[in-house]
Amino acid sequence: MVRDGSGRMPGTFGRGGTMGQVPQKQTPGVYRRRVGDAMVTVVNDGFLDIQLAILRGTDRPDMEELMQAQFRAVEPRLTVNAFVIETGGKTILVDAGGGSSTVYSMGLLPDNLAAAGFAPEDFDTVLLTHIHPDHSNGLIGEDGEPLFPRAEIVIHQDDFNFWSDDEARRRSPAALPYVGAADALLQSYRGRFRTSSGGKVLDGITQLPLPGHTPGHSGYQLDSAGETLVIWGDTVHVPEIQIPRPQVTSEFDVDEGLAAENRRRIFQHAAHERLLVTGGHIHLPGFAHIVPAGTGYRLVPEAWRVTV
């Protein structure tokens, strides 16, 4: 039998496919890592395509050069992730992806949670970094019903207040596209929100206010057995651009100047303390460190670990 140019027998596709069939998707987007005594699982919800035109703070040729230097398509494709933290007998979800009611390229969270061994009723708490559809729409079904039957929803007080105030959010051009999604979430989980203004929200977990992207945008810091992980939410949308150029903001930001200021602040904190970081739009497997580089920073992704 003659092999084709790939070295495979004709009509086969290696171990990932069957005769005559080309695999159409990856295996489940799930990656686990221990942080002290806690287990953290990155769960991919899909991706979101955006245009460089929504970014500002440097010129387009600079952004194109940064993307091409990392062998990316010029127009960014954002990874969309959520996180499961198992600690102290609790199962906690941080953000929830975009769900199936946003765009076709998101909504993988339920299948990937199941592949990781989790069911919606397992979750005690959902920690939201902010109310934007690619981070919170995954909490509700297509008919608006809550998908996590037991979970308390923790959100910064300023974000809850902003998205509950119709006049305030309609004065903000950055908020207008997301009013409907915010209303659906607030209605679906009415009476199940717990607001915080920073500080400890659960044993070993601290809310880190990082306003600007939204009025109450926050990260969460997990501390366990001497190890630390910072989940920085939407501090970074396009890591290829905003890590070397922290001044770059987007039309998604309610207060662009404050968003850039707090991006630099959390970068400085994580770099100085040599902390492990992750975020909703950090490419899989999702864990990294950040180090100073010139006038900006450089992301150092952690290598894939075969064992947990």
68-99 pLDDT, tens digit per residue, is 999 999 999 999 999 999 999 999 999 999 98
CA nearest neighbour of 177 among 132, 234, 236 = 132
Tokens standing for residue 22? 């080309």
Question: What are φ and ψ of residue 121, in 5° steps?
Answer: -75, -5
Confidence tier at 29 by pLDDT (50, 70, 90): very high
pLDDT tens per residue, range 249-279: 999 999 999 999 999 999 999 999 999 999 9
In this prediction, residue 6 carries a pLDDT of 44
Is a pLDDT exceeding 80 seen at residue 110?
yes
Q: What are 141-192's pLDDT values in tens digits?
A: 988 899 999 999 999 999 999 999 999 999 999 999 999 999 999 999 999 9
Q: Which amino acid is at 205?
A: I
Question: Mind listing the domains of the chain with CATH numbers?
Answer: 30-301 (3.60.15.10)
Tell me the average pLDDT of the chain: 93
At 104, the pLDDT band (50, 70, 90 cuts) reads: confident
Residue 101 has pLDDT above 80, yes or no: no
Distance, CA of 8 to CA of 28 (rounded, Å): 25
Tokens 């194109």 correspond to: 64
Assess whether pLDDT exceeds 90 at residue 11. Answer: no
